[in-house]
Amino acid sequence: MSPACYPSDLTDAQWELIEPLLPEPNTGGRPEKHPRRKIVNAILYVVRSGCPWRYLPTDLPPWQTVYWYFQRWEEAGVTEMLLTELRRSARRQAGHADEPSAGIIDSQSVKGADTVSRDSRHQRPAGHGRSDGCKPARPGRRQDHLAVDVPDHPDRYVFADQGFAGRLVDWTHDTLRTTLEIVRKPTAQRGFNVISRRWVVERTLAWLTACRRLARDYERDPAVSAAIIRWAAIAGIARRLTRGGPAQRQACYICD
């Protein structure tokens, strides 16, 4: 049993899910100096705490090493593969087929830090709605401004809220051969009320932005931001697969 040093650390059960999915070490060079579990824990520490890479605690591997793995694994498509396999496992655990028959799209706005260049900010001119920003999305490809994939499935079906209504419905049908259904709240509704199709994606965005690295945009490169989102999702699905019961709020830690 390996004790956790930080709340973001993987448990033994979670590490058993992730370890077999990581690429094999290079056999021609010197052995890896730092255990891979510590590398992954360091990445998750940055994602959950929101600290800069250079501010990693000294009991974790050096930040240069951690960031090197973060970049190399991303170039090799490791997070894409990890997320796909864990998502399929979670769906099997819930009694569903490996692949969904429908998707849900939504957007989330976050403030950009002063380190983010103007070129990488998604600034919309007047009259440019969320539905226009959705059009570059393609089936089966994750976009950094979408919460869920458009399903790569023969019977493609996507749900969205009223912000995506309008010309996007026809464009989605004609260009993507996908049915886009706008889920509207009941006309008599007053105040907050859960709408099942929309709540699924809204709670997912809430889970992701609980990771402080995602509560604000710090990344100069949108691809890095997308990788951080995937690591946050990987950690969340690993917890779901191993918790063995309903989710509970994380315990408070008091530092002396």
* Long-range pairs of 15-24 with CB within 8 A, sequence gap ≥ 24: 15/40, 17/86, 17/89, 17/238, 17/241, 17/242, 18/82, 18/86, 18/234, 18/238, 21/78, 21/81, 21/82, 21/85, 22/73, 22/78, 22/82, 23/73, 23/76, 23/78
3-class DSSP state of 158: strand
Q: What is the mean pLDDT of residues 170-179?
A: 86
Is 238:14 a contact under the CB 8 Å cutoff? Answer: yes
- The residue ranking higher by pLDDT, 256 or 127, is 256
Confidence at residue 254, expressed as pLDDT on a 0 to 100 scale: 64
Predicted confidence (pLDDT) at residue 139 exceeds the cutoff of 50: no
Tally the residues of the chain: 256
Confidence at residue 132, expressed as pLDDT on a 0 to 100 scale: 56
Predicted confidence (pLDDT) at residue 174 exceeds the cutoff of 60: yes
3-class DSSP state of 46: helix
Predicted confidence (pLDDT) at residue 131 exceeds the cutoff of 60: no
Confidence at residue 1, expressed as pLDDT on a 0 to 100 scale: 44
Phi, psi (deg, nearest 5) at residue 249: -65, 140
119: nearest Cα among 223, 220, 227: 220
Confidence at residue 172, expressed as pLDDT on a 0 to 100 scale: 86
The mean-pLDDT minimum among 6-20, 59-73, 146-160, 210-224 falls in 146-160
Is 182:169 a contact under the CB 8 Å cutoff? Answer: yes
Question: Which helix H or strand E contains 182, and what residues bound it?
Answer: strand 179-182
Q: Which two tokens stand for residue 73?
A: 């694994």
